[in-house]
Structure formats: C-alpha cells, structure tokens
Structure 1
Amino acid sequence: MSTVVTLVLDLGNVLVPWHPERAFEGLVPDEDVRRFLEDVDFPELNRSLDAGRDWADARHELSAMGPWYADMLDLYLANFPRTLAGEVPGMARLVRELHDVGLRLLGLTNWSAATFHHAVPAAPAIGLLEAVVVSGQEGIIKPDPRIFALVVDRFGLMPASTLFVDDSSVNVAAAHAAGLPAVVFTDAGRLRADLRARGVPVAAA
C-alpha cells in the first residue's frame, strides 16, 4: 500500500530545465552575458523577482547602474521562453503515469508571476498538475516555512502522506522542518525508485 497520497513537485530543473544564459544566445557575446549576470548578482535578482518583486522596479534599479543593464534585463524578459529547455528527461512520462494511477499532483515553485505563463507551453506535463503554487503570485518564496504551510492549508493536505520533491537541498530541509516528508531530486530514475519504495504503483525505470 502506498504511503504517498499527494506529490508536491518543484518545477524548475525538476519538470522543466531552466538556463537563464540562453535568453542571450546569439544576441550578446558570451563575455558580456557573464559580466551582466555577475554585476547584477543575477541569482539574488532572480530570487527577488520570484518573491514577487515588480519587474519595473528591478529595471529602475539596474538603470541606475547604466542603460545597458536595463536593456539586458529587457532582453532577458523578452526571450524568457528560450531559458526553458524542453522537459527534464523522463519526467513527463513519470508525471503521466502518476496522473493515470490517481496520485494527487501539485506544484510548488519559485517563479516570477510575470513569466509563469511560459511554464506549460515549455513543459506540457505541468498542465497535468491539479494546481501550482507560484511564489511570485503569493509573495512568499521557498525556503520560507510559510509557503509550505500555505500549500498544506490551501489543499487540505495530510503531511504524513505527502511527499515534496525539489532539486534544492535547502528547500528539502525546509520542507522537512515544516513537517513535510521530502526528497532531493536528482533525476527521474531516482525519483521513480523513491516512489516505488513508498508503494506508489509506477513502473521500474
């Protein structure tokens, strides 16, 4: 008998690969892309956008560094679909199997509200999820414990029968601290094995 009733999946690099530098490929020299990403501390900038920061506010801040930086942010936003490189190998098949056996499937992602509409076109398996909690829409970002509590409360989850999957060990640790069983995602085969070990009726890899 399965110990998992609900699976809560991260999206970026779990269901859909994300490579921000691809927004600039063929448009900006690689060395300029590296300079932009480093100068603006892109991981922190992206995190603020995922947390609900307005893009116009971010653009205004970068424009103080120089017009080029604001132009690069505009280019990134305009070409955001290019950063989503298809689907993570094996995950679309696994999600379809889980959907077919009746496992409840939800998403919990750190993602800007302004770009989230690109998710399903890039990785149609995301459309099989019952719902996705998007940090940029909620104004709360993983690993903040409040976002895990939000998911549990909004969907009436029983934590003991829920499994959270994320490629970030920090987020997995935060989920554990919030009372949710969780595993670090490495690849579809490993997740499939983890689910089978918990009694979920999916095929072996």
Structure 2
Amino acid sequence: MSIEAVVFDIGNVLIEWQPERHFDAVIGREARERLFAEVDLHDMNDRIDRGHDFRAMVYETAGAYPDWSDEIRLWHDSWLKLAGPEIPHSVRLLRALRSGGTPVFALSNFGIGTFALAEPQWPFLGEFDRRYISGHMGLAKPDADIFAAMEADCGIAPGALLFTDDRTDNIATAAARGWQTHHFDGPEGWARRLVAEGLLTEAAAR
C-alpha cells in the first residue's frame, strides 16, 4: 500500500530527550545514578505525558522524597535544559516531506505543560499537518488506544501510514495494527528509508 502520511515521534527523533545528561552536569553522575535508582522519575514523567499537571506532579514527587527534593524539582524548573537540542537533519526531513506534498503528523508522548514550553523553543513543532500529543489526548504510547484514536481522527488506513519512533515497544504496537514502521536510530537511516519509499529524492533527504 502506498504511503499517504508520515508520522514522527518527537523525543529522540526530532528533539533529543536525555534528561540524565543534564542531571550529570548539575549534580554529577554518581549522585544522578543514586537519584534515578531511588526515585522513578521516568514513571513520574509518564504520568505527566498522560495528562497529569506538570508542576503538581513534579512537586508532589519532590515532597515524597525530601532527601532529593531540590534535585527532583529541576525536572520542572529546568525542563528546557533537560530536553533538546533539536536533531537538525530530522527537522530538515520533516520540512522536505511537507514541501513535497506529503502530509506529516506528530504522534508523541508529551505532557500538556511540557509541550507548551517546547513549542516556542522549537518552532518546527507547529509545522505538522496534524499533531497527536498524549497529554492532550489522555492516552499514551505504547498503548494501542492512542494509535486507534489517531487512525479514527485522520481517516487514513493503517497500512498507508509510515511511522518512525526510537522505542521498539511503540514500533511493535504500530506494526501490530498494520502500520508501516521504521525504528529510528539516527536521521541518516530514516533519510534512506524515505528515499527508498519514493517520498524524497536523495538531494532532498540530505
């Protein structure tokens, strides 16, 4: 089936998402490893991605771990230092697809509050034809419900969607629903896939 739309994850596809890196820089690797071992910050973030209030969730977690409260609050207070930078080649691919007439969607786990911070920081986030952001939907990957909700909204058959994501569990859910998929491990491989599918020329994919 020919591809009618390309679907991008955002974190680690268009914008780097390595919060451990910022904590390493601020508190040192040893302290960061202890913090992340004692406090499940990624679970906290998953709840934010599912629509929980950004500040309230971080500060509630900080209150539950007084020994780490200052460090945990950095997740909220310094969020723009946790995220990024953008991945320039991926952004060029997004824009090249749209310039060539291919609809481009975002399907991303992102909180309501964190996405509000990200939009002015990375203007290309406003360039998608459609955006499916987990916090606003109250659904999140890798659950099948968010994929089903996107299908219902866009009206495109699963087999006509090409989806890229850095997480294999998200790719597996999409593939099980019949989507065409690409496990993102860098923009170069993604560019080659888009060329192979006939969606971009080699020049446009650089």
- TM-score relative to the length of structure 2: 0.88
Match of 2:177 in 1: 178
Q: In the aligned structure 2, how far is the partner of 1:111 from the partner of 1:73? A: 18
Q: Higher helix share goes to which structure?
A: 2
Match of 1:108 in 2: 107
**What displacement does 1:53 show?**
2.6
Asked if the contact 1:85/1:122 (under 8 Å) is kept, the reply is no
Asked if the contact 1:15/1:123 (under 8 Å) is kept, the reply is no
Match of 1:65 in 2: 65
* Superposition CA RMSD, Å: 2.1
Tell me the amino acid that sits aligned with residue 92 of structure 1: V
Q: In the aligned structure 2, how far is the partner of 1:163 from the partner of 1:135? A: 19
Asked if the contact 2:53/2:112 (under 8 Å) is kept, the reply is no
Match of 1:85 in 2: 84
Q: Which runs of 5+ in 1 are unaligned?
A: none
Tell me the amino acid that sits aligned with residue 75 of structure 2: Y
Q: In the aligned structure 1, how far is the partner of 2:194 from the partner of 2:61? A: 45
Q: In the aligned structure 1, how far is the partner of 2:22 from the partner of 2:76? A: 8
Tell me the amino acid that sits aligned with residue 112 of structure 1: G
The size of the alignment, in residue pairs, is 203
Match of 2:198 in 1: 199
Asked if the contact 2:164/2:183 (under 8 Å) is kept, the reply is yes
Match of 2:18 in 1: 19
Match of 2:151 in 1: 152
Identity of aligned residues (%): 31
Q: In the aligned structure 1, how far is the partner of 2:145 from the partner of 2:25? A: 40
Q: In the aligned structure 2, how far is the partner of 1:122 from the partner of 1:34? A: 28
Relative distance call for 1:195 and 1:57 in structure 2 (3 A) is closer
- TM-score relative to the length of structure 1: 0.88
